[in-house]
Amino acid sequence: MPKKQIIHEQWSSRLAFVLAATGSAVGLGNIWKFPYITGENGGGAFVLVYLMCICLIGIPIMMAEIMLGRRGQQSPVGAMRTLALESGVSSHWAVLGAVGIVAGILIMSFYSVIAGWAVSYMLEAALGHFNGLTGETAGAKLGGLLGDPLQLTFWHTIFSAMTAFVVARGVRSGLEKAVQILMPLLFVLLLIMLGYAISTGYFMQGLQFLFAVDFAKLTPEAILTALGHAFFTLSLGMGAIMVYGSYMPKGASIAKTTFIIAILDTLVALMAGMAIFPLVFANGLEAGAGPGLVFVTLPIAFGEMFGGALFGTLFFLLLVFAAWTSAISLIEPATAWLSENRGMKRSTAAYAVTFVCWALGLVTVMSFSSWSFSFHFAGAEKTDGMFDVLDILTSTFMLPLGGLAIAIFTGWVMKQVYVRDEIRLGQGVFAVWYQVIRWVAPLLLLYLFIHSLGFA
């Protein structure tokens, strides 16, 4: 088989695609980021805005992105070029794919550092190092890790290597095999954690925090964060879902699979919130602790609870698994592109891309110590320098803008017959989805952007 076709292996079934895309969607975003940004933004009202963004913008754009991938049958750059030419417009639309590839590399660079914290904390939990932690000592523990670039680099390297190992093996024997093992385990671990949270007696308090809506707590920054997070959590706007879509069998329904993926992703985020906040409240801790929530607050809880070493290890194992199946999708677009255009072997491509992300990741590593600086964004103070810059640049700008471009291309540029032919929806459903992609999603996106950035 010529090299070029190796990257166009297909998932062996629809289930494999659903697992892989859910694996991409469910990650640090659900278990680390969602609870802490919910905590920072006051709970219920933020969750409501986030859910609305998922339904009105996320799901329709995910359908579009999968559709583009399956019709384009190549890496995002090649797919966008082919689709643009097919519809008789400029092949410069390929730039959209290229920007996506860059976004993936930027995200992976910091994603892998945070995932490295999780690998390190998994061992700490297993060794019983959480016993007797107080607010102060737990903070000092994370501070110690963050202030030690060598240690951070070590764990970042381990996680990068894990990711490269899977991606190098290809779609079926790498990606597919990994998600088939990791995703079911992830659900079991989450259920165990949820069971524990129910047993603390603070479950209702957790629910109330997540679902009691108080609009007074909703700031413009919160709305922008919710929008950015809807993209981040569904892995939208950068070609990861597009490239996964390009490996999807022709017969599988795009709408059905999208719904399943979005529902599972949302469920995991809510379940993670329901597993974490009761522990926070049971121990009298702070819900708005920020990025440290699962790395400072939870270890205190694990140190105090019965069987904490076991539950702590399971929790961080869950986080590592979730991050792993997402990281492989972050570097897949670049890997596919390199093997497609540079005639590189897939494994060489995977290692090359990982190396670039790893090297860039050193910037994030340093941002927690010597290179830290603070700045203001949309009214909030950010103190972790380049890490915050990268996070905001990608989740708040690149992904939503990528999503906007996907909506515009699908709704206004690509010929409707091709869209219809690939997405295969019934007349009525198609009409609704198409109008959402043409009008609702782009206008809402623009409105939220302009409004939240304070221009209107």
Rounded CA-CA distance 322/106 in Å is 19
Q: How buried is 200 (Cβ within 10 angstroms: 0-12 exposed, 13-18 middle, 19+ buried)?
A: middle
What token pair was written down for 112? Answer: 């892998």
Least distance to ligand PFF, CB of residue 265, Å: 7
Least distance to ligand PFF, CB of residue 43, Å: 20
C-beta separation of 403 from 239 below 8 A: no
Specify the length of the chain in residues: 456
The identity of residue 2, as a single letter, is: P
Least distance to ligand PFF, CB of residue 306, Å: 30
Question: Could you say which of 82, 120, 163, 235 contacts ligand PFF (CB under 6 A)?
Answer: 235
The stretch among 80-88, 231-239, 313-321, 383-391 that binds ligand PFF (CB under 6 A) is 231-239
Rule CB under 6 A: say whether 232 interacts with ligand PFF: yes
β-strand partners of 380: 377
Rounded CA-CA distance 319/336 in Å is 26
Rounded CA-CA distance 16/166 in Å is 15
Name which of 153, 222, 116 is nearest 366 in CA terms.
153
What token pair was written down for 347? Answer: 């494994």
* Residue (238 or 279) nearer to ligand PFF, CB: 238
Rule CB under 6 A: say whether 354 interacts with ligand PFF: no
Rounded CA-CA distance 69/252 in Å is 13
Least distance to ligand PFF, CB of residue 58, Å: 11
Question: Could you say which of 18, 21, 25, 145 contacts ligand PFF (CB under 6 A)?
Answer: 25
Binding mask 293-332 for ligand PFF (x = CB under 6 A): ---------------------------------x--xx--
Least distance to ligand PFF, CB of residue 351, Å: 19
Rule CB under 6 A: say whether 97 interacts with ligand PFF: no
* Residue (138 or 330) nearer to ligand PFF, CB: 330
β-strand partners of 381: 376
Rounded CA-CA distance 406/343 in Å is 28
**Closest residue to ligand PFF: CB criterion:** 29
Question: Could you say which of 45, 240, 296, 365 contacts ligand PFF (CB under 6 A)?
Answer: 240
Binding site for ligand PFF (CB under 6 A): 24-25, 27-30, 104, 107, 232-233, 235, 238, 240, 326, 329-330
